[in-house]
């Protein structure tokens, strides 16, 4: 447990061994890894298909991270055999002086087959949106999942920040929930709550302080 801004949370970052492997990659290889592969910590004992996930998240680029680091932090869901849906935040983008970067503040992707680079190329702006964010500031997120549709809410707003009507894993898939980060990020999570719908499998509960 670590304290950030006076609140206790779970600190998540990559191991030294993983960072050493990344440092040996070329820029092109690293771009591909960042798009396709995230590191996640699975919440054990929970199966999730439809329902609501809420959490407070924070994060920032790790010390020594390259110029492309954005502070990627997210929640993965329906994770099964390495395939999962993901909503993530780029925490340094929310107040960037470049509007295009601001427009990429939130992201949907479905790894490993539908990374953000592919989605951005195939359907520009469809799976990303702007929201005001700051690094290392606790941010409340809420994810609602129903069938092949999902909604991301940020800062307790009544309207969703990002709407996805075609989840890539399909309608009835179920799997794990996980805390997610990408290369070059130090992230914090607290007050994670998973509330499956009545027809969903597994218990509901609070899993992170």
**Per-residue confidence band for 170, with pLDDT thresholds at 50, 70 and 90:** confident
Of 209, 185, 180, the residue nearest 60 (C-alpha): 185
Q: Which CATH superfamily is domain 2-197 in?
A: Exo-inulinase; domain 1 (2.60.120.560)
User: How do residues 48-68 score in pLDDT, each as one tens digit?
Assistant: 999 999 999 999 988 877 777
With 0-12 CB in 10 A as exposed, 13-18 as middle and 19+ as buried, what is 30? middle
For the ranges 43-47, 119-123, 168-172, 179-183, the lowest mean pLDDT is seen at: 168-172
pLDDT computed for residue 73 by the predictor: 96
Q: Is the dihedral of CA 114, 117, 118, 124 positive or negative?
A: positive
Q: How far apart are CA 71 and CA 140, in angstroms?
A: 16
Tell me how far apart the terminal alpha carbons of the chain are, to the nearest angstrom. Answer: 9
User: How do residues 70-82 score in pLDDT, each as one tens digit?
Assistant: 889 999 999 999 9
Model confidence, pTM: 0.86
**Per-residue confidence band for 204, with pLDDT thresholds at 50, 70 and 90:** very low
């Amino acid at each position: 447990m670590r304290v950030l801004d006076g609140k206790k949370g779970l600190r998540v970052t990559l191991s030294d061994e993983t960072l050493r492997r990344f440092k040996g990659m070329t820029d092109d290889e690293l771009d591909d890894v960042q798009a396709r592969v995230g590191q996640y910590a699975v919440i054990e004992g929970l199966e999730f298909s439809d329902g609501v996930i809420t959490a407070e998240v924070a994060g920032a680029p790790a010390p020594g991270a390259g110029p492309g680091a954005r502070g990627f932090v997210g929640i993965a869901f329906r994770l099964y055999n390495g395939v999962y849906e993901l909503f993530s935040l780029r925490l340094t983008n929310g107040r960037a002086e470049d509007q295009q970067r601001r427009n990429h503040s939130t992201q949907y992707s479905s790894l490993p087959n539908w990374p953000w680079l592919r989605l951005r190329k195939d359907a520009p702006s469809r799976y990303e949106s702007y929201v005001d964010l700051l690094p290392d500031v606790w941010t409340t997120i809420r994810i609602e999942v129903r069938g092949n549709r999902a909604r991301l809410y940020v800062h307790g707003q009544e309207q969703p920040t990002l709407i996805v009507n075609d989840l890539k894993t399909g309608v009835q898939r179920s799997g794990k929930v996980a805390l997610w980060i990408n290369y070059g990020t130090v992230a914090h999570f607290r007050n994670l709550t998973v509330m499956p719908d009545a027809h969903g499998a597994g218990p509901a509960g609070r899993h992170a302080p």
